[in-house]
Amino acid sequence: MLLQIAEPDTPVENMRPRRLGLGIDLGTTNSLIARSDGKDTSLIAVDSGGMLLPSVVNYSGDIPLVGTAALALAVRSPEDTVASAKRYMGRSLDDVPLSERSVFSDSDPLAFATQAGSKTPVEVSADLLRTLAQSAERVLSEKADGVVVTVPAYFDDSQRQATRQAADIAGLNVLRLLNEPTAAAVAYGLDTSITESGVLAVYDLGGGTFDISILKMERGLLRVLATGGDTALGGDDIDTLIADWLADSWVLDELTTAEQRELRRLAREAKEGLTLADDYQVASAVFPEARAVTITIDTLERIATPLIQKTLAACQLAVDDASVERIDQVVLVGGSTRMPSVQAAVQAFFGCEPLCSINPDQVVAIGAAIQANVLVGNGSGDDAVLLDVTPLSLGLETYGGLVEKVIPRNSALPIAKAQDFTTAKDSQTGLIVHVLQGERERVEDCRSLARFELSGIPAMVAGAARIRVSFKVDADGLLEVSAVEETTQTEASLVVKPSFGLSDDEVADMLRSSQEFAAGDMTVRQLTEARVEAEALLDGLDGALSADADLLTATELDELVAEQQRLRAAMGTDDVDAIRAQTQQLGEASLAFAERRMDRSIKSALSGVAIDALAASSTD
């Protein structure tokens, strides 16, 4: 038998072998991988000695080329070079603007048309992740035991599922999908750098997405109070605006794909150059007829201001959702936050100077590595616990086309909640469980995630069946829904795997519209609920009259039918109070009829039963 022997004062963590956990920032423009040993955290060289791996893959040869090598072929082989695949993760062709659809095949799911065949965003991301992992293994001479992969806080279930699927294809053991703003907060060591009551905002303007998160330390828990942002707004969009400005300056039109790629490259270089100088000269051999043109910092600010204002609008929504009075600190994440106009706007909005001492391109990967080191089993036990939140409410469709929210937005993850439902019709033996995401009151205003059927419900009167629907959202934000009929224990469930993700601005639009139409939505909900209640009463009374109308006198029957007609007339209006009042009046008018039906039912049940038997059963 072998025993591990150590000196009495040796810390317990030094007695067990360390495991290797890596943090991966799968970015739209660049991707990175980092490691942490609990004391020091460092980026790992992945691409010709550089720390940044361009998120570009070329499929023109026998094997994919990833990173700088692929980027070099972007102009020469644009059709086979895929960049910014992250923007299309978990999305369908319908979500893609018409101007961008030429690079995609007609296949389903969404895929890029390349010489090597159709490549989905998941496959492209898998190639990026595989390259990062293999580079790290080559540098460190060991394979990772697990990785933490970061995602935008606003990625929905479909986009998170797509990210995890890409990691699975790449052969990675994913410990957790971590929201990028949360990772950035970890990199700055919020458990020691802010007070127990400190509130922090993470402003993340990456290449393809924008995220804003409001976080707070609460008794050792790093909790995300609220998130906001835009899954289709980032530095790439600023590059596009600069490219349009260059095209106008040079009077260029009818550009080929290769020329468009060159114009975007020039735009990106100009944006980066203007972070260090007040003007930048742009020239290109690809457009020999075009003279050198100078773009100034003032021009860039004028071009970028509308997009920056969109990010601040999302910040305001997040602050409102978090219900905080002040922000103690702001962290900047993403290469585009180097722009002076972005930094100035953020400082003016939050009223404090932003933290940017850690390279904004690297801060997410560093935070992911710190968390990976803890999750892989190397933590000290004193590490901050991370509680991410659901970006949008999750719920079910109920009778009348309404949404019943089961898990509200900004609920801390992981979370599990259950709610009881019932049938709406007599003898109903099946139920369609329709899972929805969004903040509005009606199904048509929310996003459908999935549907599944629960069958085998015993035939009972409406409202008698008891169906428990459970929602479980794990720490990665992935959703599982199950439904159980309590009498027979019949069960159905699924992991929600939508076929595509949210379209451009859809998440932000959901939140804006939920606030803008809040009053109107509530009115519609109340009106629909009143009509559903009235319809249920009318249906039940119709059935009762068909079976037992002989219990009523002709006058009583006429009066009851008249009350029904008055309720149906009220249902044709938008007067909620009138519908509810008439429903109550019909219910009271039919009370005597209901009592007579109950008496008949009891007499029928007792018919033919001996008195002695009845007495004996009552004493048991």
Q: What is the pLDDT of residues 340-390, one digit of tens each?
A: 899 999 999 999 999 888 889 899 999 999 989 888 877 655 454 455 667
Please report whether residue 333 resides in a domain.
yes
Q: 204 and 55, same structural domain?
A: yes
Q: 186 and 261, same structural domain?
A: no
Q: 456 and 503, same structural domain?
A: yes
Q: 227 and 242, same structural domain?
A: no
Residue-level pLDDT at 209: 77
Whole domain around residue 540: which residue ranges?
519-606
Q: 534 and 411, same structural domain?
A: no
Instruction: Work out the end-to-end distance of the chain between its first and last CA atoms, rounded to an integer number of angstroms.
Output: 66
If one counts the domains in the chain, the total is 4
Q: From the CB of residue 50, how many other CB atoms can be counted at a distance below 10 Å?
A: 14
Q: Is the pLDDT of residue 537 over 80?
A: yes
Q: What is the CATH number of the domain that holds 326?
A: 3.30.420.40
Is 383 a residue of the active site? Answer: no
**Which range has the worst mean pLDDT, 149-158, 263-272, 355-364, 552-561?**
149-158
Q: Is the pLDDT of residue 195 over 60?
A: no
Q: Is the pLDDT of residue 415 over 60?
A: yes
Ranked by mean pLDDT, the top range of 91-100, 576-585, 610-619 is 576-585
Q: How far apart are CA 35 and CA 23, in angstroms?
A: 6
Q: What is the CATH number of the domain that holds 596?
A: 1.20.1270.10
Please report whether residue 379 resides in a domain.
yes
Q: What is the pLDDT of residues 252-301, one digit of tens each?
A: 888 887 888 889 889 989 998 988 889 999 888 788 777 889 999 999 99
- Containing H/E element for 199? strand 199-205
Q: How far apart are CA 580 and CA 586, in angstroms?
A: 10
Residue-level pLDDT at 508: 52
Residue-level pLDDT at 8: 43
DSSP one-letter string for 60-115? SSSS-EETHHHHHTTTTSGGGEEE-GGGGTT--GGGS-GGGGGGB-S-SS--EEET
Beta strands in 392-506 (DSSP E): 394-398, 402-407, 415-421, 430-437, 447-455, 467-473, 479-485, 490-495
Task: List the catalytic residue out of 86, 119, 216, 271.
Answer: 86
Q: How far apart are CA 195 and CA 200, in angstroms?
A: 10
Strands 65-66 and 394-398, by their bridges, are unpaired
pLDDT band of residue 541 (cuts 50, 70, 90) is confident
Q: Is the pLDDT of residue 199 over 80?
A: yes
Q: What is the pLDDT of residues 117-143, one digit of tens each?
A: 888 899 999 999 999 998 899 899 999
Please report whether residue 336 resides in a domain.
yes
Please report whether residue 620 resides in a domain.
no
Per the structure block, which two tokens stand in for 193?
A: 């750098």
Q: Is the pLDDT of residue 479 over 90?
A: no
Higher pLDDT, 386 or 588: 588
Per the structure block, which two tokens stand in for 290?
A: 């075009």
Q: How far apart are CA 532 and CA 425, in angstroms?
A: 12
Residue-level pLDDT at 362: 92
**Which range has the worst mean pLDDT, 43-57, 504-518, 540-554, 585-599?**
504-518
Percent of the chain with pLDDT over 90: 20
Residue-level pLDDT at 489: 82
Report which residue type is found at 589: A
Residue-level pLDDT at 319: 93
pLDDT band of residue 103 (cuts 50, 70, 90) is confident
Q: 322 and 250, same structural domain?
A: no
Please report whether residue 612 resides in a domain.
no
Taking residues 457-471, report their average pLDDT: 82
Per the structure block, which two tokens stand in for 137?
A: 């293994």
Contact 242, 270 (CB under 8 A): yes
Q: How far apart are CA 413 and CA 389, in angstroms?
A: 5
Please report whether residue 7 resides in a domain.
no
Q: Is the pLDDT of residue 521 over 80?
A: no
Length of the chain: 620
Which among 227, 606, 209, 206 has a CA at the least distance from the CA of 412?
227
Domain boundary among 334, 354, 387: 387
Residue-level pLDDT at 316: 93
Please report whether residue 350 resides in a domain.
yes
Query: pTM score, two decimals?
Result: 0.59
Q: How far apart are CA 24 and CA 147, in angstroms?
A: 7
Domain boundary among 387, 419, 453: 387
Q: From the CB of residue 362, how many other CB atoms can be counted at a distance below 10 Å?
A: 22
Residue-level pLDDT at 5: 36
Please report whether residue 361 resides in a domain.
yes
**Which range has the worst mean pLDDT, 206-210, 357-361, 581-585?**
206-210
pLDDT band of residue 238 (cuts 50, 70, 90) is very high
Report which residue type is found at 409: R
Domain boundary among 302, 333, 359: 302
Residue-level pLDDT at 446: 81
Q: How far apart are CA 180 and CA 213, in angstroms?
A: 9
pLDDT band of residue 440 (cuts 50, 70, 90) is confident
Residue-level pLDDT at 296: 93
Q: 39 and 84, same structural domain?
A: yes
Q: How far apart are CA 503 and CA 87, in angstroms?
A: 10
Task: List the catalytic residue out of 204, 236, 239, 485.
Answer: 204
| DSSP-based three-state secondary structure for 15 | coil
Q: What is the CATH number of the domain that holds 243?
A: 3.90.640.10
Q: What is the CATH number of the domain that holds 463?
A: 2.60.34.10
In the predicted model, what is the mean pLDDT of the chain?
80
Specify whether the backbone of 405 is left (phi greater than 0), alpha (psi in -120 to 50) or beta: beta
Q: Is the pLDDT of residue 478 over 60?
A: yes
Taking residues 333-343, report their average pLDDT: 89
Q: 535 and 469, same structural domain?
A: no
What lies within 8 Å, CB to CB, of 319 at 6+ separation is: 201, 214, 226, 327
Question: Would you call the peptide bond into 109 cis, given omega within 30 degrees of 0 as the criterion?
Answer: yes
Q: 133 and 27, same structural domain?
A: yes
Taking residues 388-411, report their average pLDDT: 79
Q: 184 and 241, same structural domain?
A: no
Q: How far apart are CA 174 and CA 22, in angstroms?
A: 10
Task: List the catalytic residue out of 47, 80, 180, 211.
Answer: 180
Q: 203 and 84, same structural domain?
A: yes
Q: How far apart are CA 49 and CA 389, in angstroms?
A: 37
Is 86 a residue of the active site? Answer: yes
Contact 590, 548 (CB under 8 A): no
Residue-level pLDDT at 222: 66
Specify whether the backbone of 70 is left (phi greater than 0), alpha (psi in -120 to 50) or beta: alpha
Q: Is the pLDDT of residue 507 over 70?
A: no
Q: 580 and 487, same structural domain?
A: no
**Which range has the worst mean pLDDT, 176-180, 271-275, 288-292, 566-570?**
288-292
